[in-house]
Amino acid sequence: MRRVPRSELAASDYDHWLDEGLLDLCTRRVHIHSLERAATSITSTAGTAAYSRPPGSFSIMFLEDATNQRILSRFPGGFEEYLQAKRNATTDPTPTMFAEFGPNFYVWRTPSVDTIVWVPYVYLYPTMAAADTSVPDIPSDWHYAIELVAAEHAFRDLGDEERAMAVAGEFDRWIAMRDTTRRQTARFNVPRAGGARMNSAYLTMRGNRRF
């Protein structure tokens, strides 16, 4: 990493920051198609709500119920709310929602059958071999972004906040010129216009007016 030329640093230090930059970029900032996968299907177990997330993945983007030809929705709330709902719910032959916690995903309601086949569509952790000549399993045009984010982590760890902010700004300018997956998705998820909602105080005042 030529942006952080320090003679006292070892190769392991640079490897650490590159790994941090790689994960930061791919898990917090952008979605990269080459890391999206349809994982091996998972079959339900009656009375069991928790199932292991597919190996190497950090998030389930979609969970398809291939048996009942439907897509499970993400549970609308935090994991505590999920646990409360789970306590008060009966079992069901066709769970409709799922939540994630730690290495597992949890369905709601708890399935009452052993026959449901779920197909998880996941986002994978990027990988990179230990060899110095290895490259991450993402397109080469993202390597520059990895270097920028890795340098930001390095400078912050070294206490050089000014340089950390400089490379963060360089990344922001670079990403602003790209049509990322998140921006593409946002264009298709425009909220439907529902009309302006009047403030209740205004409506009360208007109702009291004499014309």
Q: Which residue has the higher pLDDT, 197 or 22?
A: 22
The total domain count for the chain is: 2
Residue 90 lies in a domain: yes
**pTM of this structure:** 0.68
Task: Quote the DSSP letter at residue 2.
Answer: T
- Average pLDDT across the chain, whole number: 82
Question: 């949890």: which residue's tokens?
Answer: 106
Farthest-apart Cα atoms in the chain, separation: 82
For residue 57, the enclosing domain spans 35-124
Angle formed at CA 118 by CA 116 and CA 122, multiple of 5 degrees: 170
Co-location of 67 and 79 in the same domain: yes
In a domain, 191, yes or no: no
The verdict on residue 148 lying in a domain is yes
Q: Would you state the pLDDT for residue 58?
A: 86
pLDDT, greater one: 200 or 146 = 146
> For 49-106, how does the pLDDT look when each residue is reduced to its tens digit (9 = 90+)?
999 999 989 889 999 999 999 999 999 999 999 999 998 889 999 999 999 999 999 9
Tell me what pLDDT residue 181 has. 61
Q: Which amino acid is at 108?
A: W
Cα 63 from Cα 119, distance rounded (Å): 6
Per-residue pLDDT at 203 = 36
Residue 174: inside a domain: yes
Co-location of 142 and 115 in the same domain: no
The reply to whether 194 falls in a domain is: no
Please indicate, yes or no, whether residues 112 and 138 belong to a single structural domain of this protein.
Answer: no
- First vs last C-alpha separation in the chain: 74
Are the C-beta atoms of 154 and 10 separated by less than 8 Å? Answer: no
